[in-house]
Amino acid sequence: MQQQTSIQLVKTISENPHAPDLFSGQDTHNSALKSVSCLYQTTKDQNLITEIIRGYLPEDYQGNTLDEIPGMCEWALKNNKAEIKSKKDSFFDNITSYFNKAGIELIHSEEDIGCFKVPNENGGFDTFPIKSRRGKLLIRKIIYDEFGGSIGGNDLSDLIGSLEAIAIFDGRQAVFHLRLAKIDKEIILDLGNPERSVVKCNADRWEIIPSGMIDAIFRRREGYRSLPKPKRNRCLRKLRELLGIIDDQIWYCIIAFIINALRPDGPYCCFILDGEQGSGKSFLSAAIKRIIDPNLLDKMRFPKSERDLMIQAKQYHLLVFDNASGVKQHMSDALCVLATGGGFATRSLRTDEDLMTFVVCRPFIINGIGGFAYNPDLLERGIHVSLPTMNPDSRKTEQELNEAFEDILPEVLGVFMDGIVQALRNFEGTPTPKGLRMADAARWIAAAEPAFDVPPGSLVEALRRSQGDIMKQAALEETLGQGLIQVLNTYGGKFEGSTAGLLSELNDKGFNKLKDPFFPSNSSQLSKKLRLLKPALRLAGIVITKLARSNKSSLWRIEFDGTEDFSDTSESDKPQF
């Protein structure tokens, strides 16, 4: 930096247009004043400036110009600042004037994020944050194209700050959407292509139109990929064949999840997908992602914190967590909130008072080998599919699968657009299915069912069976569930006693923290765990009843209801569902 300054100073000295007047000793005051103004832009050292001016003057110079150098430096400081401010003001005025002429609007989100809304040649709009990399590049391009120049980093930062302030305080507030939007009684799907085309669905039909024809603003986040234009009058047979789905129950669950995830505002059933290695879990997850919300990152690892989960949910409409190995209780609770809609607040980084708030509702897929999701609250919100292992002789390469999938994607997308139309047409007249935790999601699925070549009622029934089966399986795979079966077999199918007595019986049979680090270690933890597992164990055939409290502790009645045969059931030979 010092070397650049020295070079610039030498250049200023050698190219000074006022040097001849100083050499002659004529009109030295005005010439020195102008020279000081030029030099002051390169150096603020008054002694150095004085010596430079002295070098310009004749050896026999007798005037007082050198004594006036300090005052000239003060004048140069004020004058240069005024010139810079004038240039900045003029520059800012030119930029904002260009925005008005080009139809570029400054708007802000509900979270007070200033954004550019830029019209494109296809009748749509590009929308992105002013402070984003793309926002900064837009300003640099405008300055280069329109004004034939460039802008320094500090000036760009000042300009960005001013534009964002205008967007937040003077611009209109807009609702930003990710991939899907609901406007009045219509659902809009952003195809994500350069033409900014969208699919508009209502109760009568769907059509492809420019995004400029609808009042919805879509944010295209990092890695956002495009969908093909859907085709009409097709079916899902080719998709089922490509995925190798033979079981009707699995197929109906896949359809139910996809059409539910194509609802813009939730609530959503999550998709819990398990299977052994080689069952095609990852490809099925990626295929569903590409039907609904394609992205360069089609699968990701399960997050470690609620904050990370919410940040990911702000980036994608559909989240896919690949190869999950376990979902801890606090993350299971966060996923429940994500599926049904809720908020999360945390302190902003590098601040004391500012909060980051997240209010989101998103569909998501979790896949793994098994045993990674066991919380009943999460399982009741899910659609569970267990994939069988594929025949090695019929397996295709990933490239073959991807190419075949891309070929059929337009017609697959067209069928699900028909499903959205049917759901909008039938929703109000569709009764809410009974006995399901996610009743509103089930109602949407039932309303969309006529678009698919499936027997009436099959999608909701598949959802019901799926939830019942996974709840029973999770309850019996739970260490406490296994322990209760052994205790009940010891007592002839029925136990009555205190929490402490039950815990003692379980410990005597080897069920403790050595067997399972999450196993209850005291009466309070056991009571909480019994209440948590009560709905799932009831589905599995074990009824838990809390009796009137005694003077010392809670009393429980736990018994088999006779619907399942648990006789001689051990840890290695428990019922399978």
3-state secondary structure 463-519: HHHHHHHHHHHHHHHCHHHHHHHHHHHHCCCEEEEEHHHHHHHHHHCCCCCCCCCCC
pLDDT confidence tier of residue 115, bands split at 50, 70 and 90: very high
pLDDT confidence tier of residue 59, bands split at 50, 70 and 90: confident
pLDDT over 70 for what percent of the chain? 92
Helix (H) or strand (E) holding 261: helix 248-261
Helix (H) or strand (E) holding 222: none
Query: Of 1-5, 75-79, 351-355, where does mean pLDDT reach its minimum?
Result: 1-5
Q: Say how far apart CA 58 and CA 31 lie, in whole Å.
A: 14
Q: Tokens for 524?
A: 């309070």
pTM of the model as a whole: 0.76
R_g of the chain computed on alpha carbons: 35
Q: Tokens for 299?
A: 């699968």
Beta bridge partners of 224: 295
pLDDT tens by residue, 14-27: 778 888 878 887 77
Q: Say how far apart CA 61 and CA 197 lie, in whole Å.
A: 77
- Is the peptide bond preceding residue 294 cis, with omega within 30 degrees of 0? no
Confidence (pLDDT) at 573: 42
Residue 93 has pLDDT above 90, yes or no: no
Whether the Cβ atoms of residue 416 and residue 444 lie closer than 8 Å to each other? no
**b/e per residue, 454-479, with b = 16+ CB within 10 A?**
beeebbbbbbbebbbbbbbbbbbebb
Q: Tokens for 486?
A: 């052994």
Find the DSSP H helices in 172-247. Answer: 237-243
pLDDT confidence tier of residue 471, bands split at 50, 70 and 90: confident
Q: Tokens for 197?
A: 């085309």
Q: Say how far apart CA 490 and CA 501 lie, in whole Å.
A: 14
Those residues whose C-beta lies under 8 Å from the C-beta of residue 59, and which sit 6 or more positions away, are none
Starting from the edge strand earliest in sequence, which strands make up the sheet with 206-210, in order?
A: 180-183, 186-190, 197-201, 206-210
